[in-house]
A and B are shown apart, each in its own frame.
Chain A
């Protein structure tokens, strides 16, 4: 079988295995597939407590059914996977039921959703045998290099397994540090710029926010932007250009970037980014100062004094994809914290999904379904935008896979990828003392002009109620951009 279940091997033999895509074999799982694929580093070993080994089933020495976590106990089990050899790739007796159940009914286009939902249900119901069977089946069909269903299956299965074994935190940390090891300024830049070239996913938010910021900064001479975003300052060159060309008196701009990803290798990347930004600002003729603040942990514990705000400057706060990293019960507090700085404008860009998977059965299922839906939208959008063999898309998918691991596999208090709907954010903002600022006609025109430069399938929606605008991908809202001012 694959590394998912034999990670105790912890060596490289499975790393170089051949890969066959399971995309074409969505129907039958009785064929022998070798789906070796490897992206996780060898650290992903799981340790089982000794006394449980004896109770493991004879067919499946890999984990004991007794080890399924009950979600309301906080014991953190480490599972040791025994050193038995990889399983045979034939259908075991137990799995016949599941195979029979699904082999005729799986639709070719979203089988992953069906299977994964079933697996989630089995997990929520504590139906261990059924869960095992489903996971086995999913594993057969999973591959990060296959069709969308295979990919989703791969990442979700991994997350479900981590949830099941309560190893979400460590797995997530492992995945993150693995990615951080290969992360450089160049790789980050190339990835982001390529993504922005082929898809308006991030540029939509940039254009909308910049428009709101320029409107708010109109006539001011000293500007300070506090940036909490996950796009590594790719938003700002266009704003610098706008400042340079659209103002009569070029104002001074201070940019304070706050990073929240901790030890992800972002320090060195941000330093280089800062250098580039300063140079570019010089080129544009904008007096500019750049400052990075590294913050670890929940953003709601951020110390505002680190911003070093001045009384004579006009402040804009920009949240792009980072509000979701705050734990649910701290979000309102964070927003009111920023209300106290009294910014001229506060911009929010977030992805439109409700990823509250809660801790227990019913909530978990509902949240899980939503995650399935959301990540499918994202993967499909990536698939549409990038060419078939794009390395960048693979990187982005892996990043999404880490997000899946975070939402599904980790405990809610540690989770940093829990997206929330625009409506919920709107309520929070209103409750924290903010009022929505309408994005101007020019801003909307800019956004529409932006979308015209991409492949078709994207549009803008201005909701009747609430605030902000949505990026729509074929009638599905995917990204929400809004601007706020203190009341």
Chain B
């Protein structure tokens, strides 16, 4: 095996690693310590700093100053940190720390040190050279298609990168026996099992459920959902269409418009799922609509639905669909044509972080407001691209515009979430950046669930407050 080995500063850790082909860009000199156990470890990359790496590809990355600002967000490491790329095998290896005496492996360095004491080593060898302070490290994901594969998006914590790799790219081996959800990381599974079944789901109408499936069925037929009005479906029509990654140059032009978030008037459209449980606003996700360029007139002009749906009790004659276009698909050609078939796909909801989804909602909300001008001015592809770059970072790649966009949206997203205190947004506490759609469908509360499953037997009464 080729090693153009590198050292972490000058500390003699037992976990010295070697670099492999990935180290093509490394410029360090080959030094091999005596403590290498190369059958244990596959090579890794070590760079002196991110900045130097950045300089090599400076047309792609923003200046370090911008990165520094975002240090605390996941995947935005300390620019002075050393970037380490471990192979999947190394990452998944459970016993990375090996005793040089007896070759016993340990999961943690502390455990190894404890073990070494038992060998009655001479005092000198006992000591570790701690003269140089441990340099901050950042780890990249070995999966090439992953956004965290790039050093600028490395994660600062070894456990973190391990978990990330397992979660995103690993096999899901752990399964909840209550609800049969599967997990790749054991601690995730454990954490879920604790809360599974104890969690409560709240519908907009106020009813609480302990079971997700009955919650979902209820929600689908709940009158609170039916209150969703035309402007939301119009918003949906303006949302994600085919993301178009072929025009990176257009991004900068486009970024301006969608990010003028109009919060006040768009309150209901910008609330997603159960962040605003106090609001009776329906929650929704902008979705693919086969006719994004055309706001469905029938839904815009849709008459306000009364809360009490008292349908005529007489049996109708053989039902003729009065408006086939509304229910049946629109022109199949359009439908088919707009369907993404090129492999560039819609950002799947569950890959999006909460911030991204909120951002999308904001984007959509805005577009609705300026339907005439904005729509005519924008190519749907661009709009799609923007939203996809916002949300679906995995596929955007590291083009010049995207990082700028991402950071910009980060700033705006944080504003949006009220983290900077600029906006008045009623949000649900601190939002985890990696909250996914599934968890957003849930809400933890402490109220007793009504015995009738949410629907009073007196029919319309239960919906009087919706």
Quote the shortest CB–CB distance from A228 to chain B (angstroms). 16
Q: Is B214 an interface residue (CB 8 A)?
A: yes
Q: Is B329 an interface residue (CB 8 A)?
A: yes
B349:A292 contact, CB within 8 angstroms: no
With known contacts A184-B311, A237-B219, A267-B319, A289–B286 Cβ distance under 8 A:
no
Residue numbers in B under 8 Å from A277 (CB-CB)? 220
Residue numbers in A under 8 Å from B178 (CB-CB)? 449, 452
Q: Is A194 an interface residue (CB 8 A)?
A: yes
**A287 CB contact (under 8 Å) in B289, B321, B341, B454:** B289
A280:B219 contact, CB within 8 angstroms: yes
Q: How far is the CA of A276 from the CA of B220 in the complex (A)?
A: 6
A391:B457 contact, CB within 8 angstroms: yes
Q: Is B56 an interface residue (CB 8 A)?
A: no
* Secondary structure type dominating chain A contacts: helix
With known contacts A279-B228, A283-B284, A287-B287, A190–B455 Cβ distance under 8 A:
yes
**A194 CB contact (under 8 Å) in B233, B314, B339, B452:** B452
Residue numbers in A under 8 Å from B349 (CB-CB)? 244-245, 250, 285
B315:A275 contact, CB within 8 angstroms: no
Residue numbers in B under 8 Å from A453 (CB-CB)? 211, 213
Q: Which of A23-31, A66-74, A149-157, A175-183 contacts B (4 or more CB under 8 A)?
A: A175-183
A264:B219 contact, CB within 8 angstroms: no
Residue numbers in B under 8 Å from A250 (CB-CB)? 288, 346, 348-349
B220:A280 contact, CB within 8 angstroms: yes
Quote the shortest CB–CB distance from B170 to chain A (angstroms). 16
A181:B286 contact, CB within 8 angstroms: no
Closest to B180 in A: A445
Residue numbers in B under 8 Å from A276 (CB-CB)? 220-221, 225-226
Q: How far is the CA of A208 from the CA of B294 in the complex (A)?
A: 39
B318:A294 contact, CB within 8 angstroms: yes
Interface contact tally, CB-CB below 8 A: 178
Q: How far is the CA of A269 from the CA of B311 in the complex (A)?
A: 8
Q: How far is the CA of A183 from the CA of B313 in the complex (A)?
A: 7
**Count, chain B residues at interface, CB 8 A:** 69
With known contacts A285-B286, A289-B329, A241–B236 Cβ distance under 8 A:
no
Q: Is B177 an interface residue (CB 8 A)?
A: yes
Residue numbers in B under 8 Å from A310 (CB-CB)? 332
Residue numbers in A under 8 Å from B452 (CB-CB)? 194
**A267 CB contact (under 8 Å) in B179, B316, B351:** B316
B285:A247 contact, CB within 8 angstroms: no
Q: Is A399 an interface residue (CB 8 A)?
A: no
**Count, chain A residues at interface, CB 8 A:** 77
Q: Is A450 an interface residue (CB 8 A)?
A: yes
Residue numbers in A under 8 Å from B53 (CB-CB)? none
B348:A238 contact, CB within 8 angstroms: no
B457:A268 contact, CB within 8 angstroms: no
Residue numbers in A under 8 Å from B339 (CB-CB)? 221-222, 252
Q: How far is the CA of A487 from the CA of B156 in the complex (A)?
A: 54
B315:A185 contact, CB within 8 angstroms: no
B219:A177 contact, CB within 8 angstroms: no
Q: Is A290 an interface residue (CB 8 A)?
A: yes
Residue numbers in A under 8 Å from B179 (CB-CB)? 449
24 contacts between A and B (CB under 8 A): A190-B457, A193-B217, A234-B217, A238-B217, A245-B438, A247-B348, A248-B345, A250-B349, A265-B313, A267-B315, A267-B316, A272-B309, A282-B233, A282-B285, A282-B287, A283-B225, A283-B284, A285-B349, A287-B289, A291-B327, A294-B318, A387-B451, A449-B180, A453-B213
Q: Add 12 more A-B contacts to A248-B345, A283-B283, A285-B288 (CB < 8 A).
A: A182-B313, A185-B311, A245-B349, A252-B290, A252-B339, A267-B315, A272-B309, A281-B287, A292-B321, A294-B319, A308-B328, A453-B211
The residues of B with any CB-CB pair to A shorter than 8 Å are 175, 177-180, 211, 213-214, 216-221, 225-226, 228, 232-233, 236, 282-290, 308-316, 318-319, 321, 327-329, 332, 335-336, 339-341, 345-346, 348-351, 437-438, 441, 451-457, 459-460, 463
Closest CB pairs A-B (n = 9)? A237-B220, A197-B453, A267-B319, A280-B220, A285-B285, A285-B287, A445-B180, A268-B311, A263-B315
